[in-house]
Chains A and B, each alone.
Chain A
Amino acid sequence: MAKRSTAYGRGGPLVYLIAAVVVALTLGPVLYGALGGFRSNEQLARDPAALPDPWLARNYEGVLTNSSFWTYALNSTVIALITTVVAVLAGVMAAYPLARYQFKLREPLFLVFVLGLLFPAAVAIVPLFILITRDLQLGNTWWGVALPQAAFALPVTVVILRPFLMALPKELEEAAMIDGASRIRIFWRIALPLSMPGLVTVGVLAFVASWNAYLLPLLLLQGEMRTLPLGVADFSTQYSADTAGVLAFTTIAMIPALILFLAMQRRIVSGLQGAVKG
């Protein structure tokens, strides 16, 4: 890298200018929301482009003291956690024999998961709604949303985990096998701990997808069971006159995803790249 000579790979003023424009366009809407939350509706109406003057905390206080907000946040968290645990556990269990066993149906079985990538949730959404609310009686519950979400997260989980498991050294497992450990014990005690980095990657992907999901929760959840995206959408239609309040609510709802992203940035990025290369 250091050998690459001057003027060639380095940026001139034009490069920095373009970068600045891109940053402004990217962050502009986010900052507009965050700053707008510190203003009053009257300020916003007078000049949409101005800075808060004076800065008001009351919109944010209003959101944070709103018990519905915390209910939505709790629902989002629990649903995302169930989705993640179910998808990762079922996914790694399925990926393990696909990576470690030799059997005739191995590749066809893997193909089932690859094909699963092609089934968009939208295709199945109406029957899914009927299945969950009527047949399974899970409408308006955490599990009713989390289980189908986990099922739709499974293909990508298996597709990422299988090559990951294949790349793990076999020696430990073989040694344990000679000592008479069963496959299931080996899976729990050796393969699972070794594949932790891969599990974290697919786990973060499943969590973020669930946290951001809208369509399925929209059909299945009402009232006190709603998640944050539903809460944001409903709040913005219900209080459409209170622009500052909507902006404050939206900004606070962004924060958990942003924190998770910043903390897990490398995992998310490597997971997405793995998915593309795989």
Chain B
Amino acid sequence: MTTPVTAAPEATDPGAAVTRRAEARRVTGRSKAGKRRQRLEIALFVAPALVLMAIFVVYPVYSAARMSLYRWKGFGPMVDFVGLQNYVRVLGDDVFTDAVMHNFIIVFASILVQLPLGLALALLLNRRIRGRGLLRTIIFVPYVLAEVIAGVVWFQLLQPRTGLLETVLGAVGIPVPEQGFLGTPDLALTTVFVVLTWKYLGLAVLLFLAGLQGVPDELHEAAQLDGASWWQVQRRIAIPLIAPTIRTWIFLSMIGSLQLFDMVWILTGGGPANATTTMATYLISQGTQSGNFGVAGAASVVLFLIGFAMAVAYQFLVLRRDTKENA
């Protein structure tokens, strides 16, 4: 990559030419001293980032794994080694297995609901309609708000009796459960999911729209000349062409759903009757509230393994096709 440098014009003064050549060699890093110097420079450049990640990412993940093998209440030395007992306890705890289930429900519901909805809206916005730019900005607004802020507003909307939603639904004749949507165990998770969809649909629309705008107009025109309908063009040309964007969105959505915490904590705190716990809310309440640090550690490791396994599997089965296509 630095090869053009060696072709630097030779100076007429022979002394200068020698220094220039030496300079060029230093630059290309061919001499021994140059190599050492280069290594030093790389280390210097990369060090701050690696040190930060080692302290605040790698070490905590490692200590979560270590913590999971001890019975530890959060203070004093970690000496009470219990082997895999915390894992047995976590995996045998219905609250945790339900939490894993809730995470997976959100993962799959997001893909099954937000993907078609986001795609439909993106196709709609990709038409030449008036106010398209404004529309796109508006759809993206919920994504920019903090989950907490969106959550607090929705919490008010969803309040039984005083919330706006009850009035609106009542006017259309839809009955509202006695305890409100968030207070009824059978409905709470669905309600959380609806709020999450409101919050995150804008991201899907935005990404898909960007992909669609990269589809060349000529393809549309050619298909149109051949008598294809609007829907046929979208289905056979536009959607397949943005498939890599869709696959990446699915990946991001999966990882996000597995980590779900803020919205649940604000809307329900995991309740009612643990109907909306997620892995993240479980390990927070075990760790910082109940002081069962070993159990929280085991839950962390399980969360990490599930996320890692899904990421690797998805990469292997689906995303790999994209890198191959690009190569």
Contact = CB atoms under 8 A, between A and B. Distances in A.
15 contacts: A8-B230, A90-B49, A94-B50, A103-B38, A118-B255, A123-B304, A126-B64, A126-B284, A174-B5, A228-B146, A233-B148, A272-B203, A273-B207, A276-B245, A277-B245
A228 B147 CA distance: 12
Chain A facing B: main interface SS: helix
B31 interface: no
B81 interface: no
Interface of A: 1, 3-5, 8-11, 15-16, 18-19, 22-23, 25-27, 29-30, 32-33, 36, 44-45, 47-49, 86, 89-91, 93-94, 96-98, 100-103, 109, 112-113, 116, 118-131, 147-148, 150-152, 154-155, 158, 170, 174, 177-178, 180, 183-184, 187, 208, 211-215, 218-219, 228-230, 232-233, 236, 243, 246-247, 250, 253-254, 257-258, 260-262, 265, 268-269, 272-273, 276-277
Interface string B42-69: 1011101110110111011101100100
B206 A19 contact: no
B226 interface: no
Given A10-B129, A265-B137, A276 B252 contact: yes
B300 A123 contact: yes
Given A103-B42, A118-B307, A276-B248, A26 B142 contact: yes
A241 B153 CA distance: 14
Interface of B: 1-2, 4-5, 8, 20, 23-24, 27, 29, 38-39, 41-42, 44-46, 48-50, 52-53, 55-57, 59-61, 63-64, 67, 74, 121, 124-129, 131, 135, 137-142, 144-157, 159, 162-164, 166-168, 171, 198, 202-203, 206-207, 210, 217, 220-221, 224, 230, 245, 248-249, 252, 255, 258-259, 261-262, 265-266, 279-280, 283-284, 287-288, 293, 296-297, 300-301, 303-304, 307-308, 311
Across the A-B interface, the 4 shortest Cβ-Cβ residue pairs: A124-B60, A212-B146, A151-B56, A94-B49
Contacts of B8: 178
A214 B49 contact: no
Nearest to B284: A125
B198 A26 contact: yes
Contacts of A213: 146
